[in-house]
């Protein structure tokens, strides 16, 4: 166990070390974040003005599709798994992940899966162009040939997620240090435990639905074909049975991250720890019974509309508990505003805005107006960008000193935050207005009525993109030339990960620590 | 402190994950390209890439499992590590449950909502010319609307419950009996192993379980042949054929995997390769001849596979090598949980696909 890392490339190819694997996940996610971001900028450049300027409509569709798929499956999810790999064993006092070899398998599938997915851009007929939700029959009868490779890359990235999730559950349930009872676990551990459960529950459903597509395309089955007695709406039900828990998979670990950061910089323990745990579990449970709120306009019976509407609004209750707990944690705290805290506070505020627009969308009769407009785009970008992306950014600033033993440049971190914060709001806030004014999603050309809002959005998008380049620069500069960080890193940091040296030794907790 | 905890074994490095990834990648991309070539009618290397990937993947898994077994024999696996394997297998089975849930959900949705809605109001009146919902769906909406010109044809006959009086001539009934019996026999194998006394009894019960699994597969194949050749029931026979073949087909694939898992455990528990190989070769040959070697009657197919199974049971009765201990038999236990899971899925199929079909 006393061995250090292997020399050369084999360290990364054959590693079983949770820190190495976490690092690879995070860098892979960063790469995908830039690729998905590049595709987003193609979209925003085309939408800068009405009319067709830069890309063909068919290519525009490929961009919206790949932007969504890459951000969801390539950037956000691997980033959270990377953070889980790095932090969970250190937070619960475990020597490594429970199944270290499978851990590396989970990682290595991803670069291959995304290489296959991105390579479809160069195929005849182009990349998938049916949106990240790949509704049938767009993705079956009318799909480009590359849909087959898309299906198989979804299959293997799903396998990667399931193995990753199994590993995380086994680690949390089996590897805690003596005395680390469930209700003493840091919230990041709790939220990941519940996220992993969601992953194992719904990734197989995604595998099932893409398999049905594959069979419809190549073997003449009728799952999504009314001519044979199937139903395209069936696709939407199965997809969203996966899809709604999936969006919580992308936000629950974020709750865990800000629940770690806010107490540190407010210098107070987290307010309402146990209610946070129960709220997370409630949100996970509710995520299974709200899926059809994505389909209010598809033609459901009134009872269905009502049930899914009320169930969806219920989610506001546990989410509200969380927001109040974060605010109450800050209440009368001795707050300082280092970069991780800035991102976390922005998370609380902006995620709440996204939550409120979600409530507006949850009202079925109103949703008939909002459906498939930029209002929906604004809503889910407000929960995903300041939600998932900001929390991941906050986590990187918060734990990077522990990972590499060096401190980032605080002034530059704050500059990054403010550019990102302004860029984000300039990009996505106007989308509420263009959406309410009726602008539909996924179109390359539009009515000049929405021109001003779109121009503002596009300027904001490039600003936000520039902020991320700065982020990359800050991270690299920290790793190669940052000032030495102390073991505690932060004045009021709390938890097992701060008891080990900075940078964290290659193997931590080979003998479990005592947890009081 | 050092003595208080058994160390948790973390392997230094491993080549398995990367090579397994390469195998998996070649498998799925080969398969994808092969399917695209078939749909386009073009020539390509898809099939070869698929087979190459599969060989690599299986080889890596063989070595990987072998490595884990070696580590266990070397005493590297602490009780805590073994619990990780237990959790891992348990959650893997849960993920499989959810995979089947998607297909059962599709069946439920089609029967409860999609078909009635297709046959109501303007949908039936204008789109699908007075289509009538029924289950099993013999007349597809395409047939109702387009008559002779329809491309999506329903089956001529279906697989549904022929009435309890006719169950003895009904293959799904026998398949249910076989699988339920096999769940009991694998439990007997487990209890005889747990009692720690009689390894030979364990091998015998396990061999009986594996045999029941193989016989199930013969009957299942027979049912498919019957459906394709005599009932006009095919994968593309509308939504009935779709759900029937996808549900029973994925279940059959899982039975195959479960049987192979149990067979591997049995082979490990039999003394040597000289004893292991003959029944395995006999089984492969019997299956090949039964399924592809001409039109044999079902009784002959069953006799052939049964004879191979007889050889398996005979070999299992030989001197066991005692590889499993009552407190160290995770490979077997995981396989048996998987087997019970496959059995439960079958009960769901029997009820929702056959009896309520």
For A137-183, the pLDDT digits (tens) are: 999 999 999 999 999 999 999 999 999 999 999 999 999 999 999 99
Let me know whether B182 and B319 are in one domain.
yes
User: Which residues form the domain of B203?
Assistant: 79-357
> Searching chain A, which residue's CA lies closest to the CA of residue B233?
A221
**pLDDT band with cut points at 50, 70 and 90 for residue B162:** confident
**Residue B182 at interface with chain A, using a CB cutoff of 8 Å:** no
pLDDT score, position A3? 66
Let me know whether B88 and B45 are in one domain.
no
Let me know whether B198 and B99 are in one domain.
yes
Q: What is the mean pLDDT of residues A318-333?
A: 97
Let me know whether B121 and B7 are in one domain.
no
- A3-12, A16-25, B32-41, B173-182: which has the minimum mean pLDDT? A3-12
pLDDT score, position A210? 98
Instruction: Give chain B positions within 8 Å (CB) of A233.
Output: 114
End-to-end CA distance of chain B: 63
Q: Does residue B322 surpass a pLDDT of 80?
A: no
Q: What is the mean pLDDT of residues A317-346?
A: 97
Rounded Cα distance, B264 and B276, in Å: 10
> Searching chain B, which residue's CA lies closest to the CA of residue A148?
B32
Per residue, the 3-state secondary structure of A301-343, as one string, reads CHHHHHHHHHHHHHCHHHHHHHHHHHHHHHCCCCCCCCHHHHH
On the 0-12 / 13-18 / 19+ scale of CB atoms within 10 A, A498 is buried
Q: Which residues pair with A440 in a beta bridge?
A: A373
pLDDT score, position B196? 78
Let me know whether B152 and B176 are in one domain.
yes
Closest approach of chain B CAs to the CA of A114, in angstroms? Answer: 11
Q: What is the mean pLDDT of residues A292-308?
A: 95
DSSP annotation of A49 reads S
pLDDT score, position B163? 85
Q: Percent of chain B scored above 70 by pLDDT? A: 99
> Coil, strand, or helix at residue A475?
helix
Instruction: Give chain B positions within 8 Å (CB) of A205.
Output: 98-99, 101-102
Q: What is the mean pLDDT of residues A301-316?
A: 96
Counting the structural domains of chain B, the total is 2
Contact A319, A290 (CB under 8 A): no
Using CA atoms, how far residue A237 sits from A29, A125, A203, A248, B239, in Å, is 29, 28, 15, 17, 17
Q: Which of B77, B101, B134 is the last residue of a domain?
A: B77
Let me know whether B331 and B281 are in one domain.
yes
Q: Which of these, A22, A7, A44, A2, lies nearest to A455 by C-alpha position?
A: A44
Rounded Cα distance, A12 and A89, in Å: 19
Nearest to B1 among A17, A171, A511 (CB): A511
Both tokens assigned to B94: 């849960």
Catalytic residues of A: 67, 96, 132, 160-161, 244, 246, 248, 259, 293-294, 319, 322, 441
Let me know whether B209 and B353 are in one domain.
yes
Let me know whether B38 and B95 are in one domain.
no
What's the CATH code of the domain at B185? 1.20.120.80
What's the CATH code of the domain at B16? 1.10.287.70
Rounded Cα distance, A35 and A41, in Å: 10
Q: Which residues pair with A406 in a beta bridge?
A: A484
Let me know whether B133 and B251 are in one domain.
yes
Q: Which of these, A152, A239, A199, A14, lies nearest to B102 by C-alpha position?
A: A239
Closest approach of chain B CAs to the CA of A160, in angstroms? Answer: 10
Let me know whether B67 and B175 are in one domain.
no
**pLDDT band with cut points at 50, 70 and 90 for residue B270:** confident
Let me know whether B168 and B309 are in one domain.
yes
Q: What is the mean pLDDT of residues A118-130?
A: 95
pLDDT digits (tens, 9 = 90+) for B96-146: 999 999 999 999 999 999 999 999 988 888 999 889 999 999 999 999 999
ipTM: 0.96
DSSP one-letter string for A13-47 = HSB--HHHHHHHHHHHHHHHHHHHHHHHHHHHHHT
> Searching chain B, which residue's CA lies closest to the CA of residue A512?
B5
Q: Under an 8 A CB cutoff, do A229 and B114 touch?
A: yes
Both tokens assigned to B168: 């003895």
Size of interface A-B (CB pairs under 8 A): 231
Both tokens assigned to A466: 């520039």
Let me know whether B86 and B233 are in one domain.
yes
DSSP annotation of A371 reads T
Both tokens assigned to A123: 């195929």
Domains annotated for chain A, with CATH where assigned, are 22-227 (1.20.210.10), 251-501 (1.20.210.10)
Contact A393, A343 (CB under 8 A): yes
End-to-end CA distance of chain A: 26
Contacts of residue A133, Cβ cutoff 8 Å, sequence gap at least 6: A68, A239, A243
pLDDT score, position B160? 86
Q: Does residue A462 surpass a pLDDT of 60?
A: yes
**Residue B138 at interface with chain A, using a CB cutoff of 8 Å:** no
Q: What is the mean pLDDT of residues B187-211?
A: 91
Q: What burial letters (b/e) apply to B109-127, b meaning 16+ CB within 10 Å?
A: bbbebbbebbbeeeebeee
Q: Which of these, A199, A188, A138, A144, lies nearest to A166 by C-alpha position?
A: A199
Averaged pLDDT score across all residues of chain B? 92
Best residue in A229, A506, A507, A511 for a mutation probing chain B (most B CBs within 10 Å): A229
Q: Which of these, B337, B354, B334, lies nearest to B84 by C-alpha position?
A: B334
pLDDT digits (tens, 9 = 90+) for A21-49: 999 999 999 999 999 999 999 999 999 99
**Residue B14 at interface with chain A, using a CB cutoff of 8 Å:** yes
pLDDT score, position B4? 59
> Coil, strand, or helix at residue A79?
helix
Closest approach of chain B CAs to the CA of A208, in angstroms? Answer: 6
Q: Does residue A202 surpass a pLDDT of 50?
A: yes
**Residue B246 at interface with chain A, using a CB cutoff of 8 Å:** yes
Instruction: Give chain A positions within 8 Å (CB) of B141.
Output: 226-229
Omega into B239 within 30° of 0, i.e. cis? no
**pLDDT band with cut points at 50, 70 and 90 for residue B275:** confident
């Amino acid at each position: 166990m006393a061995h250090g890392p292997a020399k050369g490339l084999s360290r990364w190819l054959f590693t079983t070390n949770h820190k190495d694997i976490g690092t690879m996940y995070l860098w892979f996610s960063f790469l995908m974040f830039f690729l998905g971001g590049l595709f987003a900028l193609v979209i925003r450049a085309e939408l800068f003005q009405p009319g067709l300027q830069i890309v063909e409509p068919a290519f525009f569709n490929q961009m919206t599709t790949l932007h969504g798929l890459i951000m969801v499956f390539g950037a956000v999810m691997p980033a959270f798994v990377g953070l889980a790999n790095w932090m969970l064993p250190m937070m619960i006092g475990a020597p490594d992940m429970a199944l270290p070899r499978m851990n590396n398998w989970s990682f290595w599938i991803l670069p291959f899966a995304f290489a296959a997915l991105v390579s479809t851009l160069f195929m005849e007929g182009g990349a998938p162009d049916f949106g990240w939700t790949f509704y049938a029959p767009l993705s079956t009868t009318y799909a480009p040939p590359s849909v087959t490779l898309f299906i198989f890359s979804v299959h293997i990235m799903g396998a990667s997620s399931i193995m990753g999730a199994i590993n995380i559950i086994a680690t949390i349930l089996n590897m805690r240090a003596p005395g680390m009872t469930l209700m003493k676990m840091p919230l990041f551990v709790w939220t990941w435990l519940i996220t992993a459960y969601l992953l194992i529950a719904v990734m197989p459903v995604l595998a099932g639905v893409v398999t049905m597509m594959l069979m419809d395309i190549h073997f003449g089955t009728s799952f999504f074909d009314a001519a044979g007695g199937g139903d395209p709406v069936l696709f939407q039900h199965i997809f969203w049975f996966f899809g709604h828990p999936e969006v919580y998979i992308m936000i629950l670990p974020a709750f865990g991250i800000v629940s770690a950061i806010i107490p540190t910089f407010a210098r107070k323990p987290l307010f309402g720890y146990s209610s946070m745990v129960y709220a997370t579990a409630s949100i996970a449970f509710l995520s299974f019974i709200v899926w059809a709120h994505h389909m209010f306009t598809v033609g459901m019976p009134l009872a269905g509309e009502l049930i899914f509407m009320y169930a969806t609004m219920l989610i506001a209750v546990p989410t509200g508990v969380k927001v109040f707990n974060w605010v109450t944690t800050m209440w009368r705290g001795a707050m300082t505003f280092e970069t991780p805290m800035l991102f976390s506070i922005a998370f609380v505020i902006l995620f709440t805005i996204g939550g409120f627009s979600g409530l507006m969308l949850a009202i079925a009769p109103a949703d008939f107006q909002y459906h498939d407009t930029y209002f929906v785009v604004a809503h889910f970008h407000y929960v995903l960008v300041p939600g998932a992306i900001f929390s991941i950014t906050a986590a990187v600033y918060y734990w990077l000193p522990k990972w590499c033993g060096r401190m980032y440049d605080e002034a530059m971190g704050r500059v990054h935050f403010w550019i990102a914060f302004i860029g984000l709001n300039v990009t996505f806030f106007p989308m509420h207005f263009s959406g309410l004014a009726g602008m539909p999603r996924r179109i390359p050309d539009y009515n000049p009525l929405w021109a001003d809002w779109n121009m503002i959005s596009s300027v904001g998008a490039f600003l936000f993109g520039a902020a991320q380049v700065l982020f990359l620069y800050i991270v690299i500069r920290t790793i190669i030339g940052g000032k030495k960080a102390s073991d505690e890193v932060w004045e009021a940091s709390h938890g097992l990960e701060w008891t080990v040296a900075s940078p964290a030794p290659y193997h931590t907790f080979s003998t479990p620590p005592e947890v009081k | 402190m050092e003595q208080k905890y058994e160390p948790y074994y973390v392997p230094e490095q491993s080549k398995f994950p990367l090579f397994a990834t390469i195998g998996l990648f070649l498998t799925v991309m080969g398969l994808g390209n092969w399917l695209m070539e078939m749909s386009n009618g073009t020539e390509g290397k898809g099939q070869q890439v698929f087979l190459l990937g599969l060989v690599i993947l299986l080889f890596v898994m063989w070595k990987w499992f072998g490595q884990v077994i070696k580590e266990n024999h070397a005493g590297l696996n602490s009780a805590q590590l073994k619990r990780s394997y237990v959790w891992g297998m348990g959650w893997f089975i849960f993920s499989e449950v959810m995979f089947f849930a998607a297909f059962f959900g599709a069946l439920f949705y089609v029967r409860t909502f999609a078909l009635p809605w297709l046959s109501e109001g303007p949908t039936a009146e204008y789109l699908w010319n007075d289509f009538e919902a029924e289950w099993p769906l013999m007349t597809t909406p395409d047939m109702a609307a387009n008559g002779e010109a329809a491309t999506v044809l329903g089956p001529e006959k279906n697989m549904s419950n022929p009435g309890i009086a006719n169950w003895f001539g009904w293959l799904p009934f026998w398949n249910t009996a076989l699988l339920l019996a096999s769940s009991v026999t694998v439990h007997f194998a487990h209890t005889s192993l747990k009692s720690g006394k009689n390894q030979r009894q364990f091998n015998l019960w396990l061999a009986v379980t594996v045999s029941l699994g193989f016989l199930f597969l013969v009957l299942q194949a027979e049912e498919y042949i019957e459906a394709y050749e005599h009932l006009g029931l095919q994968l593309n026979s509308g939504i009935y054929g779709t759900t029937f073949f996808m549900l029973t087909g994925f279940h059959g694939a899982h039975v195959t995997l479960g049987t192979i898992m149990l067979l591997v455990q049995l082979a490990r528990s039999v003394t040597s390769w000289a004893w292991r190989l003959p029944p395995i070769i006999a089984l492969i040959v019997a299956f090949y001849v039964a399924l592809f070697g001409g039109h044999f009657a079902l009784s002959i197919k069953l006799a052939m596979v049964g004879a191979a199974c007889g050889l398996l049971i005979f070999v299992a009765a030989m001197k066991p090598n005692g590889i499993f201990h009552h407190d160290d038999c995770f490979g077997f236990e995981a396989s048996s949980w998987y087997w019970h899971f496959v059995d439960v899925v079958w009960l769901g199929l029997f009820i929702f696909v056959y009896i309520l079909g």
